[in-house]
Structure 1
Amino acid sequence: QLIELSTTGRSSALLLLHLLFRLPNSKPVFLFRSLSLEMALWLDSGSEPQTEAEKADLDAIAALKESAAIELKEKGNEYVKKGKKHYPDAIDCYTRAINQKVLGEEETSILYSNRAHVNLLLGNNRRALEDAEQAIKLSSSNVKAFYRAAKASLALDLLREARSYCKQGLEVASDNEELKKLAKLANAKLAEREKQEAEVTKALTTAKELISAFEDRGLKIGKAMYQELTGLKKPVLDKSKILHWPVLLLYAEVMSSDIIEDFCETDMFSSHLDMMFSDSSPPLPWDEDQAYTRENIELYFEVGSTVCLSKKQMLHYLLEGTAGAGAENIGEEDDSPNHGNPAGRDPSRWVKVNEKRTLHDVLKELNLVIPGIPVFYVVSRSSSFYNKFKTGKWAPPEFPDEGGD
């Protein structure tokens, strides 16, 4: 049992502590907590060693604490070699050795680096990075610390940080093969990331340019329809800022379809219809009566077929199928509809298209909301279906909702 310390009994107490550490089977590593407490009680505020002997005693205690820290480090290394089951014990040993605060910066850097290694093995990547960074602060020549900082950064998807740690480590040890491999991996991942970011940026820019083009022309974009027929086709804005649309033609009588892949907004409808229904073109396979000839066909668009999208909804729609699909932070776009919100579908509201007008002029019609891409209905004046269509007794079939708001 330790004697009660007094001012006059300092040397005796120190001597007793020395003796305790020299007893057979003693465990100085585990006695330091008690030793530190006794020393704190003994060396009250402002107290200093009074004799050379006491100074020597304190130096001896410091040496013992340093010895204990080294022993803790070695014990931690042993635990690491024993496998995963003992990793928490290894971390405990390294932590206690660090907390002794008696080792130099180089040795303490090694302790932090060792603890970073074990945290990496346990998947504690954030803690591993913090330990490796502390190790680097204490010793800028600790190559293992740079390697572990880079490895933890990679695991945390901090690619630029990983590359930086590899670069710094290789400045210390240019022939370190492990760092070279890690640097190569970080560079490859970063190149892929930057490529993806560039593609997302390009997709966002393209989509926003399209929205500006719609606004400049006063076009109203609504919720996409018939995507089972059109897929993810979208308009394209060329270098001259001219819109090129994919246009869906629906033969209302049989709900068959054609798609004009590139309908320039400056083109007239007649120029496309002349090519599609020329004398040299084969008849439509289902048109047994050959009613759908160039002189007989008419085009219509439907009023009230869909509702206008807000700018934010348009942006999401235009990004579908691109690298920007699902991108976060796409911008704080105005969430109000870009134009009026038409009422529900009215099957009798059909507007005939003047074939001598351009697509641009028709799409600007005040009562036309473009359902994703332009959709026009083709009917034949010589078909028995014509009167049914014109009198409003026919309506397009209802399709399931094809997308979220």
Structure 2
Amino acid sequence: MALWMERGSEPKTESEIADLEAISALKESAALELKEKGNEFVKKGKKHYQEAIDCYSRAINQKVLNDQDTSVLFSNKAHVNLLLGNYRRAVTEAQDAIKLSPANVKAYYRAAKACLSLNLLSEAKSYCESGIGKDPSNEELKKLAKQIDLKKMVQEQREAQVSKALVQAKDLVSAIEGRSLKIGKAMYRELTGLRKPELDKNGILHWPVLLLYAEVMSSDFIEDFCETEMFSAHLDIMLVLVCICLRPKLSIIF
């Protein structure tokens, strides 16, 4: 009987060949049954996702299905891992599916979606393009490709903003150090907010300035005090404003 054959030996009799074919058929039937069982577990919801993965894995381990059917099983595992948020695992499963069957469009979609969730935008776009190359009319892949492009554009804009802010910060520090100025710890944020020194395009510093009047427990805040200006100019404006505000009260007193 084939069950008693030594590992690696070839069947010699018709009986042994028949036994091996029967065993292979049983394994194939079991693998397909496990696949369907896994699909049912997926339909039952999140609590059964791991059971679905186990079924797909057991079906793969039967090693009797053709490459296309095995590719579907790996793709199914990628799908469930996506649902569970296991994105790196989903990418690996989808890659295995693609290796076995490069025509498996769902595997490309799932690989792209997992890469997008991992913020691997170049890889995600590559999988999308490969999938669309296999199925040019696939709307899901086209929609996903647009999402990837949008996220990539937003990311590039954010990176450009960060890069610009870093350059501005370095220029500001250089300007302050070039004037032999020292910056202390920020104080009175409740009065000044988040205003910070700025360096304009002409290389001139603009400072937020807080004037404290301890005697009367009051303050004034100048948001943009240019380093080329004099204090007197700002004080003159402030005094004019004070007089305007007090004029109605003075007329009543008199």
- State whether TM-score is above 0.5: yes
Q: 1:50 to 1:260 in 2, by over 3 A?
A: closer
Counterpart for residue 49 of structure 1 = 10
SS at match of 1:250: strand
Match for 2:62 among 75, 80, 100?
100
The one of 79, 86, 94 aligned to 1:132: 94
For residue 261 of structure 1, give the secondary structure of its aligned residue in structure 2. Answer: strand
**TM-aligned CA distance change 1:50 to 1:182, over 3 Å:** closer
Distance 1:255 1:284 in 2: 21
**What corresponds to 1:196 in structure 2?**
158
- 1:264 is displaced (CA, Å) by 2.0
1:114 has 2:76 as partner? yes
Kindly tell me the number of residue pairs found equivalent between the two proteins.
247
In 1, the alpha carbon distance for the partners of 2:52 and 2:21 equals: 28
**Which of the pair has the greater relative contact order for Cα pairs under 8 Å at 6+ separation?**
1
Identical positions, percent? 64
User: What is residue 153 of structure 1 aligned with on the other side?
Assistant: 115
Q: Read off the aligned partner of 1:51 and give its amino acid letter.
A: K
Residue identity matched to 2:10: P
Any idea what the Cα deviations from partners look like across 1:261-312, whole Å, max 9, x if unmatched?
32222233334344444xx65528589xx9xxxxxxxxxxxxxxxxxxxxxx
Displacement of 1:113 after TM fit? 0.4
- The one-letter code matched in structure 1 to 2:39 is N
Matched to 1:283, the amino acid is: C
1:88 is matched with 50
Q: What is the CA-CA distance between 1:146 and the residue it aligns to?
A: 1.4
Q: Deviations over 1:8-64 (max 9, x none)?
A: xxxxx23xxxxxxxxxxxxxxxxxxxxxxx56xx424xx522625345644554444
For 1:221, what is the secondary structure of its paired residue? coil
Greater Cα radius of gyration, structure 1 or 2: 1
Answer 1 or 2: which has greater helix percent.
2
Residue 235 of structure 1 is matched in structure 2 by 197
Which consecutive unaligned segments of at least 5 residues does structure 1 have? 1-12, 15-37, 291-405
Q: Which amino acid aligns with 2:202?
A: S
Change (3 A) 1:140 1:275: same
Cα deviation, residue 121, structure 1: 3.0
Structure 2 matches for 1:208-227, cutoff 5 A?
208-227=170-189
Which digits, 9 at most, give the CA deviation of each residue in 1:353-386, with x for residues without a partner? xxxxxxxxxxxxxxxxxxxxxxxxxxxxxxxxxx
Distance 1:265 1:86, change over 3 A: closer
* Equivalent in 124, 130, 135 of residue 162 of structure 1: 124
Determine the C-alpha separation between the residues in 2 that align with 1:265 and 1:87: 65
Question: CA separation of 1:105/1:244 partners in 2, compared to 1, >3 Å: closer, same or farther?
Answer: same
TM-score between the two structures when normalised by the length of structure 1: 0.54
- Indicate how the Cα distance of structure 1 residues 173 and 221 shifts in structure 2: closer, same or farther if over 3 A, else same: same
Query: Using a 3 Å threshold, how does the CA distance of structure 1 residues 262 and 123 change in structure 2: closer, same or farther?
Result: closer
Give the TM-score taking structure 2 as reference length.
0.82
Give the secondary structure class of the aligned counterpart of 2:166: helix
Superposed displacement of residue 258, structure 1: 2.2
Partner Cα separation in structure 2 for residue 150 and residue 71 of structure 1: 29
